[in-house]
Structure formats: C-alpha cells, structure tokens
C-alpha cells in the first residue's frame, strides 16, 4: 500500500512539475548557470584559482584550446615542477599558497606545519562518540556529519572575524586526514566485519605519508607511493570558483553561517557522481568493459566504447567517464601531469598493461567522438580517468576515492569562503520565475 501510494505521488509530481525545453529557451533561462554557448555565467571574481580551456570568437562561439590551470596566477605545471624539486610537503605548500596568496618561505612553511601538527589529533571521546558509535555506510556522508560535529568542540564557532576563520581553517585542514581514515575504518568495522585498526598520525610525516600510514595495517609504503599521492592532492587542490563544490562554499558562506556548515555543504556537493564521484564511476566503467569485452583488443574495445557513447551499454547515459570536461576541451593539464606519474607507478607495480588500457580508452574515445560528432569535435581525458587507476595501484579502497578529493579541496573551500565573506559580502540569490501550466509567467 505504502509503495503504491508513493508511486502515485511520483506520477502526480511529474505531471504537475514538467517544464518543456521550449519554455526555458523562450524565457532565456541560464540552465546550470550556463550561457547558450556552454560558458559559465559570470557571477563573481576570485584571486585564488582559474581554469581555461577555450577562447570565445567574435561570434560568441567557443574555440577549443589547450587547458590551463592556475593557482594564484602560477601555472600548475610550473608549481608541480618547483615543488617536486623540493620533495617533501608539496601539498602543504600548495594549501598555504591557496589560502594566503604566496609560496611560503621556509620559516612560514615550518610555522604552518607546526600549527597543523598542533591541531591534528582528535579527542578520544570525539572518535568514540561521533565516529565509531554510529558509522554510516557512505564515507562522504559520515565526513559531513563529523565536520558538523566539530562545531561542538569550537569555543567560538560562529565568529566570522578573519583571525577566527583562519584558525578554523587550519583546525579543519589538520584534522581532516584523521577524520577521513577513521570514518573509513569505522565503516569497515561496523558494516563489513573487518578489523578495527586505528593508527594515530605520525608527527614528522607529510599529509600524504600519514594517509598511507593510517590506512595500511602494516604502516609500510614506498617513497614513490607517497610522492604520487602527494601529487594527486596537489593537482586536485583548486579548480576556480565556478566548480560546484567551491561555488557551494561561496553560496553558503554568503549567508554568514559557520565554517562547519559551509564545509559540510561543499562535501555534500562533491559527493555527487556528476562532480567528485566521477573517479569511482571510471573504475565501475572499466570493470564493466572487462566483463563484457576483451579490453586489450583495440577493435573490440573501440566497439564497446562506441556502444557506451551511444547509450546502449553500461549505465546507458552516453558518458565515457573520465573523458570530457565542462571547461577543458583539448587537454586537462591535471590529467597530463598525472598520466606521466601513473606510468612511473605502473612500472613499479608491474601494471603497464593496465595503464595501456586507460591510455587506449583516452585515444579511442577521441576517435569515436570525431567519427560520431564531426571532425571538429574535441573531447579530452580529465583527471578522473587516471586518478582512479592510480588509487587502485596505491591499494586505496574505492569508497574513499571521493573523500580524498574532499581532503585535497579543504584548503581551497576555506580560502573561497574567506574571500566571499571578506570581499564580496553580497548574499547570493539568483532568480527563478514562477510559471503556470501553459508556461505563462505569473506577474
């Protein structure tokens, strides 16, 4: 009875809320905050990061170009090359840059890391009461709840003065790696009958090293593994103010709510498969390909990819996950950087055949796109194509792929939050028009 009634309500809702595409076009609605040419509607300004993947010609059309990503005006390739020379704490340096607008000096980095170490430990009662007692089945949801619960530990949680916002940001950044791993361990223990192993972070380790240390029962990891994870965190750390989870930070922060509510909302946004959950979808897609065809035969692989493209197989949504991006057209600079490092790690792990599969998916999808959409059609590999593969090589469980994405963005979300509160100051409130069943606008 209940299910029948709910189905009836679903039919009723659908009938009474349907709006045709014609009405959207007639009223010039910027659906998804996108212009007709696919570019984003300009709603704000930022100094933190920028993303470029095309130019606009005199007729207002998008002209594809090589992808560029800038952190505080510095190209990501240059930043990665500079930080890799310095070896340790690359992600920590990146977070400092995003938050405060400059690459830290040795002294500034030392003080920054020292402050993070001071804040990184979670109280035992917090771990017991808020993480272990009622673990959820989804790590992202549990992270949201845990971040909100940190509000209760803050003596001044609603203060939005700059000094307090910075203090809260550093506290969240420091605690987030432990929150992530402990939520994962609690979920495994409660729902999958696995041993509960809690490792405390090691003071001299970087964030990337501590994640591997806390995740693994034997605490062992190689230098290359830590270096690759650190690189993934760096290249995921910022992507401009317009990506969904960062824009969420701006929207929620414009109300002047507390930091914990804002960051929790951004985590909720990132969870979606259209955003941060995409790397998990790549893994599922590849598993489906392996199950239904010979992925190491290029002819058969191309045939199956074409069927995915045409909504005939896999999830029938016509998306080859890990390919295509809202901004990047010819290339995603993050994917270019990560692909090179993925090759190194695959070589160490004796997984070059698997690496070649992902490389083939990238190449063949480009070919299929031009065959089906025309020679001018451009589609590139995005960072998700190779990040899931790298996580697999690092023996990182699939259900924390997206939580690691959240970890990489934690400093950026706070930087954008502070920017919104201190610079913009305007409550974000776009307009919606009310229409009747005939598409007429109510006066």
For residue 333, the domain's CATH number is: 1.10.230.10
Q: Is the pLDDT of residue 377 over 90?
A: yes
For the chain, what is the domain count? 2
Of residues 85, 86, 52, the one with CA closest to residue 69: 52
Whether 177 maps to a domain, the answer reads: yes
What the block records as the tokens of 310 is 């045409």
Claim to verify: residue 306 and residue 419 sit in the same structural domain: no
Claim to verify: residue 250 and residue 282 sit in the same structural domain: no
Could you give the CA distance from residue 134 to residue 47 in angstroms, rounded to a whole number? 40
Residue-wise pLDDT tens digits, 247-268: 999 999 999 999 999 999 999 9
Whether 83 maps to a domain, the answer reads: yes
Whether 43 maps to a domain, the answer reads: no
Could you give the CA distance from residue 80 to residue 238 in angstroms, rounded to a whole number? 13
Give the range among 75-84, 176-185, 380-389, 431-440 with minimum mean pLDDT: 431-440
Claim to verify: residue 162 and residue 242 sit in the same structural domain: yes
Whether 360 maps to a domain, the answer reads: yes
Whether 123 maps to a domain, the answer reads: yes
What the block records as the tokens of 358 is 């992902």
Q: Which domain holds residue 337?
A: 278-393
pLDDT given at position 98: 98
Claim to verify: residue 99 and residue 222 sit in the same structural domain: yes
Q: Is the pLDDT of residue 347 over 90?
A: yes
Claim to verify: residue 120 and residue 141 sit in the same structural domain: yes
Q: Is the pLDDT of residue 443 over 90?
A: no
Could you give the CA distance from residue 322 to residue 408 in angstroms, rounded to a whole number? 19
Whether 17 maps to a domain, the answer reads: no
Claim to verify: residue 115 and residue 191 sit in the same structural domain: yes
Claim to verify: residue 161 and residue 295 sit in the same structural domain: no
CATH number at residue 242: 1.10.580.10
Alpha carbon 157 to its chain's center: 26
Of residues 5, 419, 411, the one with CA closest to residue 172: 411
User: Is the pTM higher than 0.75?
Assistant: yes
Claim to verify: residue 379 and residue 246 sit in the same structural domain: no
Q: Is the pLDDT of residue 197 over 90?
A: no
pLDDT given at position 191: 66
> Percentage of the chain surpassing pLDDT 70?
99
pLDDT band at 85 (very low <50, low <70, confident <90, very high): confident
Residue-wise pLDDT tens digits, 17-45: 999 999 999 999 999 999 988 889 999 99
pLDDT band at 360 (very low <50, low <70, confident <90, very high): very high
pLDDT, mean of residues 207-216 = 95
User: 370-373 contacts: CB < 8 A, separation 24 or more?
Assistant: 372/306, 372/309, 372/310
pLDDT given at position 24: 93
Claim to verify: residue 267 and residue 298 sit in the same structural domain: no
pLDDT given at position 47: 97
Catalytic machinery residues: 325, 384
Claim to verify: residue 172 and residue 146 sit in the same structural domain: yes
Question: Quick check: 177 and 214 in contact, CB under 8 A?
Answer: yes
Q: Is the pLDDT of residue 279 over 90?
A: no
Instruction: State the chain's mean pLDDT as an integer.
Output: 94
Residue-wise pLDDT tens digits, 86-118: 877 899 999 999 999 999 999 999 999 999 999
Instruction: Give the three-class secondary structure for 374.
Output: coil
Whether 4 maps to a domain, the answer reads: no
What the block records as the tokens of 128 is 């017991």
pLDDT, mean of residues 134-144 = 92
- Where among 393, 409, 433 does a domain terminate? 393
- Where among 353, 373, 393 does a domain terminate? 393
Q: What is the DSSP string of 227-288?
A: HHHHHHHHHTS---TTSHHHHHHHHHHTTT--HHHHHHHHHHHHHSTTTTTHHHHHHHHHHH
Claim to verify: residue 159 and residue 262 sit in the same structural domain: yes
Could you give the CA distance from residue 318 to residue 327 in angstroms, rounded to a whole number? 19
Claim to verify: residue 353 and residue 411 sit in the same structural domain: no
């Amino acid at each position: 009875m209940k299910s029948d009634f709910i189905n009836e309500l679903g039919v009723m809702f659908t009938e009474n809320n349907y709006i045709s595409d014609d009405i959207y076009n007639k009223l010039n609605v910027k659906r998804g905050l996108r212009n007709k040419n696919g570019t984003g509607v300009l709603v704000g300004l930022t100094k933190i990061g920028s993303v470029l993947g095309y130019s606009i010609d005199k007729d207002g059309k998008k002209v594809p170009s090589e992808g560029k990503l800038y952190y505080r005006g510095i190209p990501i390739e240059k930043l990665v090359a500079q930080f890799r020379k310095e070896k340790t704490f690359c992600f920590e340096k990146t977070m400092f840059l995003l938050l405060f607008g400059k690459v830290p000096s040795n002294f500034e980095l030392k003080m920054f890391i020292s402050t993070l170490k001071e804040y990184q430990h979670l109280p035992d009662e917090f771990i017991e009461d808020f993480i272990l007692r009622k673990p959820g089945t989804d790590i992202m949801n549990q992270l949201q709840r845990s971040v909100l619960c940190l509000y209760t530990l803050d003596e001044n949680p609603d203060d939005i003065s700059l000094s307090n916002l910075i203090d809260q940001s550093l506290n969240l950044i420091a605690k987030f790696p432990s929150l992530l791993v402990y939520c994962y361990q609690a979920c495994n223990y409660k729902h999958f009958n696995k041993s509960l192993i809690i490792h405390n972070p090691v003071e001299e380790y970087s964030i990337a090293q501590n994640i591997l240390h806390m995740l693994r029962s034997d605490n062992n990891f190689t230098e290359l593994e830590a270096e690759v994870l650190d690189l993934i965190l760096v290249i995921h750390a910022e992507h401009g103010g317009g990506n969904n989870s960062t824009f969420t930070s701006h929207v929620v922060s414009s109300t002047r709510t507390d930091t914990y509510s804002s960051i929790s909302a951004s985590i909720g946004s990132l969870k979606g498969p259209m955003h941060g959950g995409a790397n998990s979808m790549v893994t599922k897609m590849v598993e489906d390909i392996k199950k239904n065809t010979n992925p190491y035969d290029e002819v058969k692989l191309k045939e199956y990819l074409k069927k995915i493209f045409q909504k005939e197989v896999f999830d029938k949504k016509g998306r080859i996950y890990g390919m295509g991006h809202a901004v990047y057209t010819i290339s995603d600079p993050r994917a270019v950087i990560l692909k090179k490092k993925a090759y190194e790690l695959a070589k160490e792990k004796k997984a070059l055949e698997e690496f070649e599969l992902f490389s083939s998916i990238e190449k063949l999808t480009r070919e299929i796109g031009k065959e089906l959409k025309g020679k001018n059609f451009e589609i590139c590999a995005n960072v998700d194509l190779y990040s899931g593969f790298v996580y697999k090589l690092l023996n990182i469980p699939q259900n924390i792929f997206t939580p690691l994405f959240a970890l990489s963005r934690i400093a950026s979300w706070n930087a954008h939050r502070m920017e919104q509160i201190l610079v913009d100051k305007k409550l974000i409130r776009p307009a919606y028009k009310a229409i009747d069943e005939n598409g007429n606008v109510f006066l």
